[in-house]
Chains A and B, each alone.
Chain A
Amino acid sequence: MTEVTVVDVIGYIVIFVGVVFDLLGAIGLVRFPDVYNRLQSATKSVTLGTFGIMIGILIVAGFTPLGIKALICGVFLLLTAPVSAHALSRGSLRFGAKMWKGTVIDAYGKDKLGGPQIESEEGETKENKEAEDEVA
């Protein structure tokens, strides 16, 4: 394993891009103010990052058993991670987790839960409601 071919270098670049996406998703999980913002950041970028890692492993390892299993694992992850994120966001909205106070509109809460689930703060509630009425 002393010589490094061009295909290996392409695989390393794809894996590195995936790892950077993973790290940025985890930083967004810490920094964002709200459950839904955190779910948005973390789920999308971490799914793409791990899929990139699997594709990079396929490129580096070639069509060996390790590479084919990595491809299967990546496709499975790409299919199931959005489903679990959607179930989690719907469950937390039904549970009563409030949205961030700068949120403009919440159509699902207005229709199904009897009012928008936006965190209220003095002085900004009226502006939010006016903006929401304009959008609606």
Chain B
Amino acid sequence: MSVLWISILIILGVAAFLCLFRIFRGPTIADRMVGVDIMGILFVGITAITGILYNLSFLVDIAIALALISFVGTLALAKYLERRTLDD
């Protein structure tokens, strides 16, 4: 069964590399922010798959924390992009 999990991890890694291509080539700064947001969500999936591959339950805790940090970071970047201050 570990061949199946590793092939799933390889497919998700290819998707993350496509996001990295968009981060490098994005014409505006908004494109790069979209790439960072999507790559954060993909890393949540990769961490959870690794957790079930090695049967380690604390890796899913790490996935929850990663989702929370990605959400807060994307909101802060969107506020910065809109040229507003953080207490507005």
| Residues of A close to B80: CB separation below 8 A | 91
Please tell me if the beta carbons of B34 and A73 are within 8 angstroms of each other in the complex.
Answer: no
Q: In the assembly, what is the distance between CA of A131 and CA of B24, in Å?
A: 35
Q: In the assembly, what is the distance between CA of A81 and CA of B71, in Å?
A: 7
The smallest beta-carbon distance between B68 and chain A, in angstroms, is 7
Selected contact of B38 from candidates A26, A77, A80, CB within 8 Å = A26
The smallest beta-carbon distance between A59 and chain B, in angstroms, is 11
Q: In the assembly, what is the distance between CA of A57 and CA of B28, in Å?
A: 37
Please tell me if the beta carbons of A72 and B64 are within 8 angstroms of each other in the complex.
Answer: yes
Question: Residue among B22, B34, B35, B45 with the most chain A CB within 10 A?
Answer: B45
- Given A23-B14, A95-B81: A30 touches B61 (CB 8 Å cut-off): no
| Residues of B close to A66: CB separation below 8 A | 51-52, 55, 57, 60
CB interface residues, A 67-99, toward B, < 8 Å:
69-70, 72-73, 76-77, 80-81, 83-85, 87-88, 90-92, 94-95, 97
Please tell me if the beta carbons of B18 and A29 are within 8 angstroms of each other in the complex.
Answer: yes
- Given A88-B30, A95-B81: A16 touches B8 (CB 8 Å cut-off): yes
The smallest beta-carbon distance between B38 and chain A, in angstroms, is 5
Q: How large is the interface on B (under 10, 10 to 19, 20 to 34, 35 or more residues)?
A: 35 or more
Selected contact of B44 from candidates A15, A19, A77, CB within 8 Å = A77
Residues of chain A touching chain B, judged by Cβ–Cβ distance below 8 Å, are: 1, 4, 12, 15-16, 18-19, 22-23, 25-27, 29-30, 35, 38-39, 42-43, 46-47, 49-50, 53-54, 57, 60-61, 64-66, 69-70, 72-73, 76-77, 80-81, 83-85, 87-88, 90-92, 94-95, 97
Given contacts A30-B22, A91-B80, A92-B33, 9 further A-B contacts (CB under 8 A): A1-B1, A26-B19, A43-B34, A50-B41, A65-B57, A69-B61, A73-B64, A94-B83, A97-B30
Residues of chain B touching chain A, judged by Cβ–Cβ distance below 8 Å, are: 1, 4, 8, 11-12, 14-16, 18-19, 21-22, 28-31, 33-35, 37-38, 41-42, 44-45, 48-49, 51-52, 55, 57, 60-61, 63-64, 67-68, 70-71, 74-75, 77-83
